[in-house]
Chains A and B, each alone.
Chain A
Amino acid sequence: MNGALVIGAVVAVLAVVLVAVPFMREPTALDDTLAEPDELEKRTLELSEERDRALAALKELEFDHRTGKLSDDDYRELVGGYRRRAAAALRALG
């Protein structure tokens, strides 16, 4: 019974300490603002995803073409569009 009480007390104290750690480590934080992407970062993220999507699409087109799933005509027609998209995203990302 006593042992159980001790364990219970230790658990409770540890829990409180763990919860309080961020405040104990930085009692007066210079910047307490949660990191969040601003508009520029959101735009960068969007462009990065667009770039990755276009590059992945180009790889897939190439692979589907080589495995015979995509005809030469379809490949030529599609590949140009994705190259332009990838290039535009890369340009915008600087």
Chain B
Amino acid sequence: MAELGRAALIVSLGLALYAALAGFWAARTRKRRLADSAGNALLAALGATAVAAAVLLSALIRHDFSFTYVADHTSTELPLGYSVSAFWGGQEGSLLLWLLVLTGYGAAAVLLNRRRAPDLVAWTVPVLAGIASFFAFLLVAVASPFATQNAPAQGAGLNPSLQNPYMLAHPPLLYLGYVGLTVPFAFGMGALLAGRTDERWIVATRRWTLFAWTALGVGQLLGAHWAYVEVGWGGYYAWDPVENAALMPWLAATAFLHSVMIQEKRGMLKVWNMLLVILAFGLSLFGTFLTRSGVVNSIHSFTQSSIGPWFLGFICAVVAFALALVFWRLPLLRSKTRLESLVSREATFLYNNLLLVALCLTILWGVAFPILSELVKGESRTVGRPYYDFFLRTFGLPLLLLMGIGPLVAWRRASLRALRRTFVWPAGVAVAVGILLLALGAGSSAPGLIAYTFSAFVLASVTLEFVRGTRAAGSFTQLVSRNRRRYGGYVVHAAIVLLAVGIAGSSAYGSSSERRLTPGQTMKVGRYTLAYRSVAQRRGPNDLEVRAAVDVYRGRTLIGHVHPGKNTYFAEQQVSNEMAIRTDWLRAEDLDVITDQIDPNGTIYFKALVKPLVNFIWLAGVVFLFGSVVALWPDAREQRRLVSRYALPTPAEA
């Protein structure tokens, strides 16, 4: 079967190369049949890649250890679900997933747009196919998942921290996000190559971008929850380079989703939007490079490998090509309209863009700093949490405030009188909440207090926008159905508020405690008292599980029991921390108990953390998804208008 996988990948590479070269030639010489043939080659590349993926999946499920990849990432003791997730648990498999998703997106984009915008798609196909060719080449020549060996009796198993249900969804969602950003990039480059400066490429990719952005956002939150429940250190985001690698393109895509509205409404920011699309895609490639090259130390990254230089070269080539293209088309991208006022909705979008890009670039600097310091000074220096926290506060808090200001300001211009009228309620609510929180003792953390006050302002502003909008539109459903993107966006803003509340609460107002306990001893953390009772062990399906029995008291009242411990995996010969979490749903607060060290005599070094409001972060994920679906939902009226606007005669009609 490995031969079939290898052959399918070679066919996929051949098809992608054909699509890139023939597609380029067809677009340049305006050959219709050749352009269609190149588009079809991209569809066929999806088929060939799907066959390769099916071969690998089948080998993983059958535990066919004659495949080196299967032997390296599974064992016979591994449950079926995790055998499937081993597909993306290793380098070669995850590269195959990249190619599968990329050709899938490419094929769908070609099928949906080739009749509506044939000239644009003709230039987009070679860009998509060029990127697919690179990944297919890596899989064929550098990191094949179909390398074979004499089958050992047992496989090495999957990294224990990856043996978690979240790993079934988190990586594929991230891939849908990373790879999805290829579509707006390819269409943007296609528009530049075709010399089209109209909004066709934006209309064609709007939903793709939103979908990719949603997948990346949900994927990151799932990853944060996985880190929280599985990695066993009591946190959900550590500013790890690989975590940042997913955050950066998401921030760039967020900026793009906002600024693209200015181009649609006012015909402005054409160059800026192209640069954001390049930045978002470039960062998604950079993230993939970070995860796979081994240039940075991360708990998430794969081991040192030979594909790093290939990736770096590809990123440089892509960014240089894209920037050269923008520079070449600059005369066509000049905007005819200007910003009418610095106090307008457009202006708030612009400020939001500057802050998002600034935050994105400071994170990029933090990620790249160890690599650059290694290159320049010969020693790798990392920037720590204080660096990131400082910039998150510096750019994140004004961003939060802008989310509340934006909906209150009119498009084009806003007078002082109108601003006074629209601001009075949200500002009043924010001040009242701030004073109340101050009285309740939230002043112990200034950034926390500011975050809560701004959050109250945003929620009041969004609520007011819905109330006033409903009054003006006549009904709530009419209001939302007429502008799903806007009102879905407001729901997403509410999700970001929940996220901010959760982050501020759990980081600024949390407490922690560490102690070595023998059975019968107690320790205090926040309002809780923990009493260590006993320790026991049992055999799991593929591991030995040691668990401590701990009683949890609030005051003198017993409120529950937790069982933190460690798992020792047989095949992988690795130990994982199994943190115990007790959730107080009323306060949205978690008590996390970790067994840092378990001695053979039963003495355990416990670490306990209280994380107020941390569950708002996970609730934010649900609200975020709901808002995104509202924004993504197709609008029949808009579709009809766009179809009539862009209806080009087909050759037959001509």
A-side residues, CB < 8 A to B, are 1, 4-5, 7-8, 11-12, 14-15, 18-23, 26, 29, 31-37, 41-42, 45-46, 48-50, 52-53, 56-57, 60-61, 63-64, 66-71, 73-74, 78
In the complex formed, the residue of B with least CB distance to A23 is B33
In the complex formed, the residue of A with least CB distance to B652 is A31
Q: Residues of A contacting B35 with CB < 8 Å?
A: 34
Q: Residues of B contacting A21 with CB < 8 Å?
A: 36-37, 40
Q: Could you list some 9 contacts between A and B, CB below 8 A?
A: A5-B4, A8-B51, A12-B11, A14-B47, A15-B48, A36-B118, A46-B198, A49-B198, A53-B264
Q: Is the CB–CB distance between A22 and B37 below 8 Å?
A: yes
Q: Residues of B contacting A19 with CB < 8 Å?
A: 15, 18, 37, 40-41, 44
Given A69-B410, A70-B415, list of 16 further CB < 8 A pairs?
Answer: A5-B3, A8-B51, A11-B8, A22-B33, A31-B651, A33-B651, A34-B119, A35-B118, A35-B649, A50-B267, A53-B266, A67-B471, A68-B418, A68-B468, A74-B414, A74-B418
Q: Is the CB–CB distance between B40 and A69 below 8 Å?
A: no
Measured in the bound complex, the distance between the Cα atoms of B11 and A8 in whole Å is 9
Q: Is the CB–CB distance between B415 and A34 below 8 Å?
A: no
**B7 is an interface residue with CB less than 8 A from chain A:** yes
**A-contact bits for B406-419, CB 8 A (1 contact / 0 none):** 00111111110110
**B469 is an interface residue with CB less than 8 A from chain A:** yes
Measured in the bound complex, the distance between the Cα atoms of B417 and A69 in whole Å is 9
**B377 is an interface residue with CB less than 8 A from chain A:** no
In the complex formed, the residue of B with least CB distance to A8 is B7
Q: Is the CB–CB distance between A53 and B267 below 8 Å?
A: yes
Measured between C-beta atoms, what is the minimum distance from A24 to chain B in Å? 10
Sorting the interface of chain B by its residue count into under 10, 10 to 19, 20 to 34 or 35 or more gives 35 or more
Q: Residues of A contacting B266 with CB < 8 Å?
A: 53
Q: Residues of A contacting B468 with CB < 8 Å?
A: 67-68
**B472 is an interface residue with CB less than 8 A from chain A:** yes
Measured between C-beta atoms, what is the minimum distance from B397 to chain A in Å? 24
Describe B's contact surface by its main secondary structure.
helix
Measured in the bound complex, the distance between the Cα atoms of B119 and A49 in whole Å is 18
Describe A's contact surface by its main secondary structure.
helix
Q: Is the CB–CB distance between B31 and A32 below 8 Å?
A: yes
From the candidates B32, B41, B409, B646, name the one contacting A34 in the complex (CB within 8 A).
B32
Q: Residues of B contacting A41 with CB < 8 Å?
A: 648
Q: Is the CB–CB distance between A71 and B472 below 8 Å?
A: no
**B62 is an interface residue with CB less than 8 A from chain A:** no
Measured in the bound complex, the distance between the Cα atoms of B27 and A36 in whole Å is 10
Residues 135-189 (chain B) with a chain A CB within 8 angstroms: none
Contacts A33-B30, A35-B654, A53-B266; A48 near B645 (Cβ below 8 A): yes
Q: Is the CB–CB distance between B122 and A18 below 8 Å?
A: no
Measured between C-beta atoms, what is the minimum distance from A18 to chain B in Å? 5
In the complex formed, the residue of A with least CB distance to B642 is A52
From the candidates A11, A33, A70, name the one contacting B32 in the complex (CB within 8 A).
A33
Measured in the bound complex, the distance between the Cα atoms of B465 and A24 in whole Å is 57
**B557 is an interface residue with CB less than 8 A from chain A:** no
Q: Is the CB–CB distance between A49 and B422 below 8 Å?
A: no
Q: Is the CB–CB distance between A11 and B265 below 8 Å?
A: no
Q: Is the CB–CB distance between B265 and A56 below 8 Å?
A: yes
Q: Is the CB–CB distance between B40 and A22 below 8 Å?
A: yes
